[in-house]
Amino acid sequence: MSCTISGIGLAGFGTVGSGVWQILQEHGGLISSRSQGSAALEIRKIAVRDLAKKRDADAPAELFTTDLMEVVNDPAVDIVVELIGGTDAAFDLVAAALRAGKPVVTGNKALLAERGAELFALSKEHKAPIHFEAAVAGGIPIIKAVQESLVGNRIESIAGIINGTSNYILQRMTEAGLGYPEALKEAKDLGYAEADETLDVNGWDAAHKAILLGSLAHGFLIDYKEVYVRGIEKVTPLDIKFASDLGYVVKLLSLVIERDHGAIEIRTQPSFLSQKHILASVHGVFNAVAVKGDHLGDSLFYGRGAGQGPTASSVVSDLVEAARNSRSDRGFIPYQESGKLVEIDETSTSYYVRFSVTDQPGVIANIASILANHEIGISGTHSPVDADNPDAAFVEMVFLLHKCPFGQLKTALAEVEALDCLTARPVVFRIETL
Amino acid sequence: MSCTISGIGLAGFGTVGSGVWQILQEHGGLISSRSQGSAALEIRKIAVRDLAKKRDADAPAELFTTDLMEVVNDPAVDIVVELIGGTDAAFDLVAAALRAGKPVVTGNKALLAERGAELFALSKEHKAPIHFEAAVAGGIPIIKAVQESLVGNRIESIAGIINGTSNYILQRMTEAGLGYPEALKEAKDLGYAEADETLDVNGWDAAHKAILLGSLAHGFLIDYKEVYVRGIEKVTPLDIKFASDLGYVVKLLSLVIERDHGAIEIRTQPSFLSQKHILASVHGVFNAVAVKGDHLGDSLFYGRGAGQGPTASSVVSDLVEAARNSRSDRGFIPYQESGKLVEIDETSTSYYVRFSVTDQPGVIANIASILANHEIGISGTHSPVDADNPDAAFVEMVFLLHKCPFGQLKTALAEVEALDCLTARPVVFRIETL
């Protein structure tokens, strides 16, 4: 039974950082017992911006510094934890730690999704692993699952609800018929959305996570600049209601699907999903990731995607991993130089398209003809009539369209948009059949 | 990049064994890439009972032997995989492997749940880990989750649907109103139940898995002789229908709950669960395990609990683990000598109790009085009347009872059973609020 203590340098002592401190205080003995003494963890340096700020947890004053690089350079630090966020100072910190041969634990999805190429190269060169369980889906151990548990599987698809803020907002729009601004305000009031909600609602937080999952699953770093991302800001209560009428829910879905010849389709957008799909039951700020392996078949991982306890729990799990393995082969190193992505215009699904139109004869005929000319089949329509007022103006028409490449749909819709009878741009949602 | 090849000895080449062979044939290169070259796996010996038997996979004849011990004793074997089942020959094999200092991978829940004390002691003594992801919930990486991902959490509760056969049978009884024998026959016809279904339907397969999860979570080996286990053989379509009327489903649930002062409540039985609970949506032969950690909060792991691909996938994941860690601190070693279990009579839930009675005045009064004398409150009743025949004989009366210790309920029911008006023993289901 080895009893070496691993010294930890913590960069950032906000919600997650102080959560890590608390877990180690509370369960240090348990963690050591469970790991047969091979993971005795001690926080030896904590870098913060402002020493005077009040903290959740009361770590001894002598551990604190305002010099970020001290958490790397202190010889008592064996493992560096990066929890400061952002992609600049965090990059320098992580790069310095790797160059010093110190394993890194980080929850920073943006950093790895955008600058992973440089960092994983440093990780490989200096044989220092990067652990990032906390970067994807908070407390859900999806990194470990994809990397270790599915190691013997080709990963056919990953479908995730991995942004709790968006999921909460969409759910409130569905349940309570709220508009986007009202639901966002509610999420902020409850602390489910940050002061600056941009990355949560524009899809990029989820997309960063999907990029990491896809990179892990397929062995090459997916270039974030080539990933299709749409947010939930423009989702309307009307489309959510129509979705519900039709047996669907609207969810911000992140998908990584292996297509023919190993090309990867990766995209994040609000999509229609059958109310009966297990992911449709993921409510509130919870996250879930469905993974399909060629031998494993379908699996699902569900839990809290954010918050102090869940995220700190993942950091601690990574710390144990780092402490137990001085060997560098535990972190992720891309094993393919590059891979092929499917162009977004080539990706095929069924679609929901809503046209806002003027009520005049010929409107449906005109739109339907254009779709027909582009060989896009209509599988259903939805334009409910007010029972008490059947002669009210006909203004919203929904077509459900058979599966076709997105590019083909766009070409057809560009033609439809030129029609006089349209009062707004068509609204498109993909219908996902996972 | 290390390139040591790990030699594997495979005991058993049935469904799972040949699945392991296939995965290594198909994805050996991928596995090696993903593990940075530290897991190159080669099967070097396969022990079977009958060399002539036709197999799923075509491994070279020279690998086969009928001498079980050869998979341990062959010096080319570094890791021993036990897939023969049972608790006698399998015990000897695993014990021999551990004594030889060779890591063991096994899917044998009965072996570990019943003879784990001896085997984990050998594992500790000889510094050879036992890996058993395949023993619990097939392809779901729940062992890794509990052992590694939740390492920084006190594990407050585990609730699992971990026997696919029972889950399938109960679902068919619910959906199609089948009786137990018909649903069992259907499960057998579809290959979802084995020729001898005993351990699946009597609850012990699930209980063995729960014992392993509970032991992992709480650090001591739970004695299987002290675990409360009931199967689904006596569940009737009538109780399933009444459950449904009341907003519940009947599921074979395995529970491991930490109570006051760290005492562990562990039991497996068919229970009532709200139709809205996420575990109620686990259909067919799928398994799911809900785990609650004090920092992580609620999480759920879902997937295929049996079958060639999923189980072999878990074996391969364990093989990679074993190959990457010559160090012995990766497997589970109990870190507590013993722990306290809650006596079944002390465990409290709400209850559904169905009384079969003769239709005569005073029946309800008599039963209700006895319950009242034992201070057991009635929270609801259910005795639907045939609308077309309201004066039909009253024969089935359901009481929903407030939470009380099981022992208190048993005492009261013993008194009720002595009443003349009862035509059968009362039927009891726990109502679980997880």
With beta carbons under 8 A apart, name residues in chain A contacting B220: none
User: How high is the mean pLDDT of chain B?
Assistant: 95
Of the two residues B57 and B258, the one the predictor is more confident about is B258
CB count, 10 Å around CB of A347? Answer: 18
Residue A214, C-beta contacts closer than 8 angstroms, at least 6 positions apart:
A158, A222, A256, A264, A266
User: Checking phi first, is residue B296 left (phi over 0); if not, alpha (psi -120 to 50) or beta?
Assistant: alpha
CATH match of B142-305 with 3.30.360.10: yes
Q: Could you report the predicted ipTM of this complex, rounded to two decimals? A: 0.94
Residue B49, C-beta contacts closer than 8 angstroms, at least 6 positions apart:
B66
- Cβ-Cβ contacts under 8 Å between A and B: the total is 192
What's the gap in Å between the CA of A306 and the closest CA on chain B?
10
B window 188-217, beta carbon within 8 A of A: none
pLDDT of residue B226: 96
Q: Range with the lowest mean pLDDT among A116-120, A159-163, B79-83, B379-383?
A: B379-383
What are the pLDDT digits (tens) for B151-164? 999 999 999 999 99
- Tell me if chain A has a CB within 8 Å of the CB of B262: no
Q: What is the DSSP letter of B313?
A: H
Report the helix count and the strand count for chain A, using DSSP H and E: 13, 16
With beta carbons under 8 A apart, name residues in chain A contacting B285: none
Where in chain B are the domains? 5-135, 142-305, 344-432
Whole-angstrom CA distances from B87 to A360, B90, B111 are 78, 5, 5
**Candidates B45, B209, B251, B292; catalytic one:** B209
What A213-216 contacts at long range (C-beta under 8 Å, 24+ apart), as own/partner pairs, is: A213/A136, A213/A142, A213/A143, A213/A146, A213/A158, A213/A160, A213/A254, A213/A256, A213/A289, A214/A158, A214/A256, A214/A264, A214/A266, A215/A116, A215/A332, A215/A334, A216/A143, A216/A146, A216/A147, A216/A332
What's the gap in Å between the CA of B214 and the closest CA on chain A?
13
In percent, the amount of chain B with pLDDT more than 90 equals: 89
* Helix axis angle, B363-373 to B406-417, nearest 10°: 140
CB contact under 8 A, B151 and A34: yes
**Interface residue of B149, B285, B324, B333 to substitute, partner A, most A CBs within 10 Å:** B149
- Residue A280 one-letter amino acid: A
Of B261, B407, B270, the residue nearest B341 (C-alpha): B261
Tokens of A349: 């699904």
pLDDT of residue A57: 82
pLDDT of residue B3: 59
CB contact under 8 A, A335 and B301: no
Q: What is the mean pLDDT of residues B35-45?
A: 92
Answer yes or no: are the C-beta atoms of B147 and A34 closer than 8 Å.
Answer: yes
Looking at the predicted structure, is the pLDDT value of residue B428 above 60? yes
C-alpha A269, offset from chain centre: 11
Whole-angstrom CA distances from B425 to B355, B396, B413 are 7, 12, 9
Residue A234, SS3? Answer: coil
Give residue B58's pLDDT band: very low, low, confident or very high (50, 70, 90): confident
The β-bridge relationship of strands A5-11 and A79-82 is: parallel
Tokens of B48: 């079977």
CATH match of A143-304 with 3.30.360.10: yes
Tokens of A388: 């008490």
What's the gap in Å between the CA of B283 and the closest CA on chain A?
11
CB contact under 8 A, A31 and B151: yes
Q: CA-to-CA distance for B7 and A432, rounded, in angstroms?
A: 44
Most confidently modeled range among B34-38, B311-315, B327-331: B311-315
Catalytic residues of A: 209
Q: CA-to-CA distance for A205 and A222, rounded, in angstroms?
A: 15
In percent, the amount of chain B with pLDDT more than 70 equals: 99
Answer yes or no: are the C-beta atoms of A236 and A352 closer than 8 Å.
Answer: no
Looking at the predicted structure, is the pLDDT value of residue B392 above 50? yes
Q: CA-to-CA distance for A20 and A348, rounded, in angstroms?
A: 43
Answer yes or no: are the C-beta atoms of B106 and B302 closer than 8 Å.
Answer: no
Looking at the predicted structure, is the pLDDT value of residue B2 above 60? no
Give the closest of A151, A298, A324 to B31, CB-based. Answer: A151
- Tell me if chain B has a CB within 8 Å of the CB of A309: yes
Tokens of B20: 């392991």
Q: What is the mean pLDDT of residues B30-49?
A: 94
A4 φ, ψ (degrees, to nearest 5): -60, 135
CB count, 10 Å around CB of B290? Answer: 23
CATH match of A5-135 with 3.40.50.2300: no
With beta carbons under 8 A apart, name residues in chain A contacting B294: 309
- Tell me if chain A has a CB within 8 Å of the CB of B25: no
Answer yes or no: are the C-beta atoms of A423 and A416 closer than 8 Å.
Answer: no
Residue B95, SS3? Answer: helix
Q: CA-to-CA distance for A84 and A306, rounded, in angstroms?
A: 16
CATH match of B344-432 with 3.30.70.260: yes
What's the gap in Å between the CA of A129 and the closest CA on chain B?
12
Is there a catalytic annotation at residue B209?
A: yes
| pLDDT tens-digit profile, chain A (434 residues) | 445 899 999 999 999 999 999 999 999 999 999 998 888 999 999 999 999 988 878 899 999 999 999 999 999 999 999 999 999 999 999 999 999 999 999 999 999 999 999 999 999 999 999 999 999 999 999 999 999 999 999 999 999 999 999 999 999 999 999 999 999 999 999 999 888 999 999 999 999 999 999 999 999 999 999 999 999 999 999 999 999 999 999 999 999 999 998 999 999 999 999 998 989 989 999 999 999 999 999 999 999 999 999 999 999 999 999 998 866 678 899 999 999 999 999 999 999 999 999 988 899 999 999 999 999 999 999 988 888 888 887 789 999 999 999 999 999 999 999 999 999 999 999 999 98
Can you name the residues that pair with A382 across neighbouring β-strands?
A: A398
- Tell me if chain A has a CB within 8 Å of the CB of B314: yes
Looking at the predicted structure, is the pLDDT value of residue B328 above 70? no
Of B292, B247, B318, the residue nearest B83 (C-alpha): B318
C-alpha A423, offset from chain centre: 34
C-alpha B265, offset from chain centre: 15
Q: CA-to-CA distance for A330 and A128, rounded, in angstroms?
A: 9
Q: What is the pTM of this model?
A: 0.95
CA angle, B127 then B129 then B130, to 5°: 145
